[in-house]
Structure 1
């Protein structure tokens, strides 16, 4: 029973950390702010996350794991498409991002230059995606569509532009067409 309470508390603290990041940005994240947001003592936060950096790392790790799980689900659901790895990733982008996801994405982008482990994690994720594009059918078409998808996704996640649902649908359908119509050599 105690393990379950501890796990819930860890998740509550990470939820509170995400809310702090959403309100104040990565720079405003602190052990004190998270403790106050979660309604727990500072020592409770420090017990699991020894520093601001460790807390931010835990928030980012959780968000990346959630995104990778959603990606795996969409890839499995795209099994009957011309390129499940690509089409599954495109399907992931159909879901509109929320304020918390955009705030965490901004925190990730702000943290990457200073955190070697995060840089490596992002490189590994990117290399896995690139490998998935090259391992499937029509690798050049898949790569071009994937790179365009990254541009679309990061433009939105980093808050540079928010596409309305109709624009989003048109763009993502266009990425599917790029893949199916690109002349493979």
Structure 2
């Protein structure tokens, strides 16, 4: 479901006027981030300060700050008042997801966890590219390149999820 929502609503800018498309896309994209957080929680991700490696204390503030720095320094001057709140919520959920994915437990399959982390971070990078294109309307080749990167990030997420998914995760047990 979280892979289909962005693909379906990615084409909404061709059918819906731009001011409404920005609001619809922002709402559904940060809804997608909420679904990803719930997915990671069901796979066993949780904040435990006692199990933090020292490197996490160095990188987590940086990773959490990147979407907000982009929001305040790049997007904030371009946004009108109606879109500032939605895009801020989008940055909040994007930053939370980029940090929360780091807390997936390690498994025997080393690459699955790292593919999920790379897929989420690549998705956030493509959302930054797409938002610059939508609000600035410059850069002719940004939008197709961002769509190619978004599709490849979803492929990384699919491969990572299928190789990472454990038999004792809550999703598999419920079904």
Normalising by the smaller structure, the TM-score range is 0.3 to 0.5
CA radius of gyration, larger in: 1
Higher-RCO chain (CA-CA 8 Å, sequence separation at least 6)? 2
TM, length-normalised to structure 1: 0.33
